[in-house]
Structure 1
């Protein structure tokens, strides 16, 4: 494994239905609204020739004082069980969200196989890998908090309509 290669698995357990959580996590364009601490800007870029899916240009951040510019595109979907993506730019690789209903909870897993290509990350990975990993897990912690808030918001809106 090269020093700038990372495997970053994340597991969450969230109260809800697999369908509602899949709906949120599979809509990459909406991340900026519900996960704003990490996803600073998302815009539609182009259609990917290989997959025929939308490519999104992302500006993201973690706890550390740098930003990442990268593109994301869905590569496959098996609603509501999984959605996979590819990444290019400052982060290059692939990731898969997996969802499994477990009673009133959903087990959520994100497997992220990514290379840090932003020059400062790429060339300092040999030294800073634990800090860069910690930065990723901080961002994912914000994602869990944001997902739970988004579920509450959606449920409250549904109650107000009913």
Structure 2
């Protein structure tokens, strides 16, 4: 991947949620708008693919097709391929810790949306901050949803 490329990693600690409950919530894309404020809509495109529309603090939205590549409740691994305004992948690994779960999220994407590509060199810090804000809200939303 060249230009407008981003790598993100986040760790979400969910102290009162067993790994299987977290796994079930993470793979249920259609429920995301109920707990993640920045996920505005999800539309199923097929058995393995859904269109997700996101918008956080900055005044643009991302339309992303997520295609299931891996979904293993035994190992706690999930991975989706991304296309549309972002191209790449998003992966999650769930680790039971006591009564809770640590969810490690990795994203490697390239911006395809023309506005993001055009502004990449000057707006990169804002895009990264916007992503961090979105992930914080997702973490808090999931914790509340599972409580």
Please classify the TM superposition score into its range, dividing by the shorter chain length.
over 0.9
Structure 2 counterpart of 1:22: 23
**How far apart in 2 are the matches of 1:110 and 1:102?**
16
Q: How many residues align?
A: 145
Is there any run of 5+ residues in structure 1 with no aligned partner, and where? 47-52, 153-162
Runs of 4+ residues over 4 Å off in structure 1: none
TM-score (norm 1): 0.85
Q: TM-score, with normalisation over the residues of structure 2?
A: 0.93
Hey, what does 2:56 align to over in structure 1? Answer: 62
1:4 aligns to 2:8 (yes or no): no
Secondary structure of the residue aligned to 1:95 is strand
Q: Which residue pairs with 1:155 in the alignment?
A: none
1:144 is aligned to: 139
The whole-number CA distance in structure 2 between the counterparts of 1:147 and 1:113 is 22
- Aligned CA RMSD, in angstroms, stands at 1.3
Tell me by how many angstroms 1:64 deviates. 0.6
The answer for unaligned runs of 5 or more in structure 2 is: none
Whether the 8 Å CA contact 1:3–1:126 is kept in 2: the answer is no
Residue 78 of structure 1 corresponds to 72
- Superimposed CA distance per residue, residues 72-129 of structure 1 (whole angstroms, 9 cap, x where no aligned partner): 1110112151110011000111010110011122111110001111111012111211
Query: Structure 2: how far apart are the matches of 1:123 and 1:9?
Result: 24
3-state SS in 2 of match to 1:62: coil
The one of the two structures with greater contact order (alpha-carbon pairs below 8 A, sep at least 6) is 2
Task: Tell whether 2:116 aligns with 1:121.
Answer: yes
